[in-house]
Structure 1
């Protein structure tokens, strides 16, 4: 891809699974230089395949066929070695610790261009394009509630937030958690899992409480509710 700068990190090893996921992160450091130093420091033992600066510059740190070390202890849809199954993309942003802020248009545009190549290349489904907080809900918050998932969703590069034909199935809390696990999340720490789900699909309220809106959104995601309801009602 034109415009990518290669700055190899020593922090990688061999994959043991085929690529089936994209995991999006923020760097969570004070500036891009600090993030780059950490992602290429052999002592840090962390890396990603790509890092995108706020002005849209894309840096390739690890070749896609190698296993970058970005997800840590994580889980998604039965996969415990998320690093082996994923492409990791770091977005330069100070994160919640250093002054979390929206992701600039130039950065998002570069991400879209990069993902337009990656997603069809590995036939990655929209449900497997996730945030770090989705795969590690008890540990991580990134890319966070200010990330523009809807921009990706409009381009079929992520699942959209269900907004229409929402119906509360009135599951018990344990029933909701079972459904959340079926969708893909690790529910070992239930409140963290609920908050991660909210951060992704209802970012305006991250209270960690299971309510009717959360239940309705999850039901729609599991059943393809928007599309199915539209078809039932003769809409296209």
Structure 2
């Protein structure tokens, strides 16, 4: 594990976990530079942190030990867990984000993420369905890591779920049934359009309009079927 870490950059912003680790949350930093992001994640005044930060050239920083609760998720929810910080390992991926010039994630950065994520998933036995983006756990507040993030690359290494390839029409009778299914998958649906956009950003990123449609409905139904069949580990 230590051979994957380029720098120990300790953050004071952590406390004790209250839950076992069952998730990994991927973020983008959403700041103009890596130095600014690293400074904020290590600022006691800012009161935020993550376990790791990956720069665009693939440099990996460890900020908080995995057995500690880092402060990266904020107010969030996933599969009935409201203390996501206690249940997750957080990885910040340097990218200016939608506010400062969102751009694709470089190959070197993704290549550094793969072995780091693989180690975390193996150590904590994290299901692929629980490798999620910040937007998944906080759909009304967050957009990261965003529609340019290469989830398919992670899926190819069995570190996340594959995007369902569907052609069937919507199996849900109406939008209400769809959102019940979305809640069952794990999302907070208190803001339904935001939850829909988060689902689209993850699974159908070329159209993010917050509207329920047949393609997204069929994708969700496929995911739920796989979950019930035990295929989302």
- TM-score, scaled to structure 1: 0.94
Specify which of 197, 200, 223 is matched with residue 198 of structure 1.
Answer: 200
**Aligned residue pair count:** 227
Unaligned 5+ segments in structure 1 are 229-236
Provide the C-alpha distance between the structure 2 equivalents of 1:115 and 1:141, rounded to a whole number of angstroms: 20
Specify which of 53, 78, 81 is matched with residue 79 of structure 1.
Answer: 81
What RMSD in Å do the two structures reach over aligned CA positions? Answer: 1.4
Provide the C-alpha distance between the structure 2 equivalents of 1:150 and 1:140, rounded to a whole number of angstroms: 21
Query: Is it true that 1:188 corresponds to 2:190 in the alignment?
Result: yes
Deviation at 1:224, TM superposition (A): 1.8
Provide the C-alpha distance between the structure 2 equivalents of 1:98 and 1:106, rounded to a whole number of angstroms: 21
Which residue number in structure 2 is paired with residue 9 of structure 1? 11
Unaligned 5+ segments in structure 2 are none
Deviation at 1:116, TM superposition (A): 1.2
Moved over 3 A (4+): 164-167
State whether residues 166 and 217 of structure 1, in contact with CA within 8 Å, keep that contact through their aligned partners in structure 2.
no
Query: Is it true that 1:30 corresponds to 2:22 in the alignment?
Result: no
Q: 1:92 to 1:49 in 2, by over 3 A?
A: same
Provide the C-alpha distance between the structure 2 equivalents of 1:133 and 1:165, rounded to a whole number of angstroms: 26
Cα shift readout 1:66-104 (whole Å, capped 9, x = no counterpart): 000000000000100000000000000000000000000
Deviation at 1:166, TM superposition (A): 3.8
Which residue number in structure 2 is paired with residue 51 of structure 1? 53
Please give the secondary structure, in 1, of the residue aligned with 2:182.
helix
1:130-209 aligned at under 5 Å gives the runs 130-164=132-166, 166-209=168-211
Deviation at 1:165, TM superposition (A): 5.3
